[in-house]
Amino acid sequence: MNSSISNSRPFSHLTRAENLDRLGTESFDLLVIGGGITGAAIARDAALRGIPTALVEKTDWAAGTSSRSARLIHGGLRYLEYYQFGLVFEALSERAVLRRIASRLVRPLPFMYPLYRGQEPGFIKLTAGMWLYDFLAQFRNVSRHRMMLARETARREPIVAREGLRGAARYYDAVVDDARLTLATTQSAHLAGAVVANHARVVGLLSHGGQVIGAVVRDEITGREIEIHARVIVNACGPWVDALRSMDVGAKHASPLLRPTKGVHLFVRRERLTSQHAIAFDSPRDDRHLYVIPWGDFAIIGTTDTDYAQSPDTPNVTPEDVDYLLEAAQHAFPSAHLTEADVISAYAGLRALIGSDAASTYSISREHHIEQSESGLFTIAGGKLTTHRLMAKEMVDTVAKKLGGAGKCVTGKRHIETAERVAGIPMPARSASVAHLVEAYGADAVRPLAYAEERPELGQPIAPGLPYIRAEAHYAVEHEMALSLADVLIRRTHVIYETFDAGLPQARDVAALIAEKLGWDAAEQERQVVEYERQVSLTRSFRKS
């Protein structure tokens, strides 16, 4: 087992600078545009097959939808209602694969599905559905489902509404830190040989004889433009795929591929919504299934599903989104008396769903789609976090054919080289911070701890009450390619979501820490704080006052 990613191949701001130079001088078989989970997984798969691969991301790894999901690695129980057994089987098989290859990040979580009188599905149908869910998982889950009656349900989860309660199904799915899974997948792609750069935006495509042959990338830090040449180009831009397609000579008149929908999640303190399980519940307004998901000291409530036609850069959270979720949570957990004052933060993500005339956004297929334009540009869109590895395999199989052959896909067998093991590493007495460091970095937790040992002020929390320590700002720059204040406070740590003030009072302190590594002057530090404030406003835009 690789105990340290950074030992074997650095993944820092300096690595990125070297990579940008390489992007302009080497030529690649494959250029992947978009550093969400889809692009990262394609780059990893291709690099592991020996394909010379480049990956560029306009903002930061996982800055799009891949850091704004419900964080579930799941079969999708609700798809059984639509008889989409193939989709559920595929997702359950992937859940098993991801638990194997990313075992520190993808963790099993017990779920509860309470049932009420007069509700669909009824007790018998739900029991049958649960057996089917276990069967489609080939009975290889943490344990089989269990049905329980009302009294046991209420005893195990006192927060669920009692009126009309008939019982519940208890079963397992899994959760993951989506931003960290994407980062780990990108690091793994890099270890396998892919040349990767974040804050590198594609601003144009290069073509010759009607065929796309490369892209112009702008380094968002310096403004320098670089031409990248590649034999095959894949557009994995999630909600931005249509914007990228509009740069393609071969798809100039093509109609948009996507019908994006917005999904909002709320963060509340766990003590306001205590539960041992993730709990499924229905919205009384439209019967959509929602979840409350325990996440450390927090509970995440989600999600909405509404058409979205504005810029993918700034999906915001409206008071209506929050009202919808709070109304449903209040209905399902009446004793919690949740109000808007309990909502610490909220985030909105965009589903890159394939265009459809369906009246309800909820019923649009979540399956993915691959197309090739007349000029040869591949676009991949749709799908799920859970099935990203399979999507990547299918995409790289197609690329390999176009390239005239390549090795076999090995991603199902190769562990994502997150620093796994902590056994044998001397750790100070356990505290919330140490527990968090081990969970986030595995064996690499010793690095931020070593920084803190050298300079004890780096061992102080970034923000009061949160487990993140100031040393993580240095670690993020030196080992995780963080280049902005937002990279550190949103995706390397999740400070933005976990305090009411989003860590704004500490933003200047964190900017100064990053400045030590990146050489920012005072003006740049101030610019970073202003940009972070802008991002924060999107996660608090629901506040009426």
Chain positions contacting ligand FAD, by CB under 6 A: 33-39, 56-59, 63-66, 68-72, 201-202, 236-240, 244, 263, 303, 349-352, 383-386
Helices (H), 161-259: 178-191, 241-245
CB of 164 to ligand FAD, least distance (A): 28
Assign 3-state DSSP to the chain and report helix, strand, coil percentages, each to 5.
Answer: 40, 20, 35
CB of 89 to ligand FAD, least distance (A): 15
Q: Contact 95/74 with Cβ under 8 angstroms?
A: yes
* CA proximity to 507, closest of 519, 517, 493, 518: 493
User: What is the pairing mode between strands 195-197 and 53-56?
Assistant: parallel
Closest CB to ligand FAD among residues 237, 344: 237
Q: How many CA atoms lie within 13 A of 27 on its CB side?
A: 6
Orientation angle between helical segments 178-191 and 37-48, nearest 10 degrees: 20
Q: 486 to each of 375, 413, 544, how far by Cα in Å?
A: 36, 34, 24
CB of 508 to ligand FAD, least distance (A): 26
CB of 140 to ligand FAD, least distance (A): 19
Q: 390 to each of 179, 400, 404, 502, how far by Cα in Å?
A: 19, 15, 21, 36
Closest CB to ligand FAD among residues 257, 463: 257
Closest CB to ligand FAD among residues 101, 437: 101
User: What is the pairing mode between strands 107-116 and 278-282?
Assistant: parallel
CB of 81 to ligand FAD, least distance (A): 17
CB of 74 to ligand FAD, least distance (A): 6
Largest separation between any pair of C-alpha atoms in the chain: 71
Closest CB to ligand FAD among residues 111, 451: 111
Closest CB to ligand FAD among residues 272, 351: 351
**Distance from the first to the final alpha carbon of the chain:** 52
How much is the CA Rg of the chain, to the nearest whole Å?
A: 23
Closest CB to ligand FAD among residues 154, 391: 391
Closest CB to ligand FAD among residues 130, 200: 200
CB of 301 to ligand FAD, least distance (A): 12
CB of 237 to ligand FAD, least distance (A): 4
Closest CB to ligand FAD among residues 167, 382: 382
Q: Contact 455/449 with Cβ under 8 angstroms?
A: no
CB of 292 to ligand FAD, least distance (A): 13
Closest CB to ligand FAD among residues 244, 329: 244
Task: Give pairs for 290-295: CB < 8 Å, separation 24+.
Answer: 290/325, 290/328, 290/329, 290/332, 291/70, 291/72, 292/329, 292/332, 292/333, 293/70, 293/71, 293/72, 293/109, 293/175, 294/109, 294/270, 295/71, 295/175, 295/270
Structure tokens at 316: 């915001």
CB of 409 to ligand FAD, least distance (A): 18
Closest CB to ligand FAD among residues 38, 411: 38
* CA proximity to 492, closest of 60, 11, 37, 5: 60
Closest CB to ligand FAD among residues 105, 458: 105
CB of 349 to ligand FAD, least distance (A): 3
Which amino acid, 197? A
Q: Looking at the DSSP assignment, which residues form a beta bridge with residue 385? A: none
Q: Looking at the DSSP assignment, which residues form a beta bridge with residue 207? A: 212
Closest CB to ligand FAD: residue number: 36
CB of 396 to ligand FAD, least distance (A): 15
Hey, how many other C-beta atoms are within 10 angstroms of the C-beta on 339? 10
CB of 518 to ligand FAD, least distance (A): 21
Which amino acid, 201? R
CB of 63 to ligand FAD, least distance (A): 5
Orientation angle between helical segments 37-48 and 388-403, nearest 10 degrees: 50
Q: Quick one: CA torsion of 301, 257, 534, 523, rounded to 10 degrees?
A: 140
Closest CB to ligand FAD among residues 261, 433: 261
Q: How many CA atoms lie within 13 A of 179 on its CB side?
A: 19
d(CA 491, CA 507): 15
Closest CB to ligand FAD among residues 204, 284: 204
Contacts of 243 (CB under 8 A, 6+ apart): 237, 312
